[in-house]
Chain A
Amino acid sequence: MEGTTVIDPKIIKTDMHVADKADALNQLATLLKEAGYISDVKGYLEDVYNREEEGMTGIGNFIAIPHGKSKYVKEVGVAIGTLTEEIPWETLDGKGVKGIVLFAVGNDSDGAKEHLKLLSLFARKLGNDDVISSLLNAKSANDVINAFEI
């Protein structure tokens, strides 16, 4: 795993039942906490919401990429969640969101350079429509991992 991908099955959740955006972010941040990527859910989410203020993270095609640099991040990672129901989100195409990719990045970008490089390669794939449609159809963590292997 180390050195090849930022994707970690421990922080992937499919068929999530969420009430709204806040609930979704909270559930995904909790996954990050449980897997040891962040030290504090509340502090981390504050930084995520700060980024939300700056501009839309709904990139269209039912995908949102909330993120933020936070001192509460211990290790670079991405929590990925697919939802059973579309939820409202600020998006570029005005649609809701059914797939969420929550980025966790620390403030020390030099120390994490290798991981950030992998993260950039991963982010790039979110610009590929085939990846997105596979992701939205994913029924298991394995499906999610496969979606990004295009």
Chain B
Amino acid sequence: MKIVGVAACTVGIAHTYIAQEKLETAAKKAGHDIKVETQGTIGRENELSAEEIKEADIVILAIDVKIGNRERFDGKRIIQVPTDVAIKSPNKLVQKAQEVVEQQVGAK
């Protein structure tokens, strides 16, 4: 499946990027496509395009603060957690995302 995400922490210099790395590693390990945008002190990096968001099966927000342009994800399935969760249990989080997507498909 296709996952897009955003990582953002309070100070924006460390947890944001660790969460990004953890999420990407976990998703790839489980065989998914993933792209994680970071919103940190240096601004937005690896920014998600409208197309990527449209194609995504699910959105994972690993955030401790309000993020910019959240409305981009309106109408999408969203899992929101603090960065801590993405850092501590990235595999579980990706697993959860998969379950949510499968339920959605099953319900159709």
Contacts and interface: CB of A to CB of B under 8 A. Distances in A.
Interface stretch (A12-20, A62-70, A80-88, A137-145): A62-70
Contacts of A67: 11, 13-14
Contacts of B42: 109, 113, 116-117, 120
A43 B54 CA distance: 47
A97 to B, nearest CB: 15
A71 interface: no
Interface of B: 10-11, 13-22, 25, 38, 40-42, 45, 64, 84, 87-88
Interface of A: 51, 54-56, 59-60, 65, 67-69, 92-93, 103, 105, 109, 113, 116-117, 119-121, 123-128
B21 A127 contact: yes
Given A59-B87, A127-B87, A120 B25 contact: no
Given A65-B18, A67-B14, A123-B16, 4 more contacts: A59-B87, A67-B13, A116-B41, A121-B17
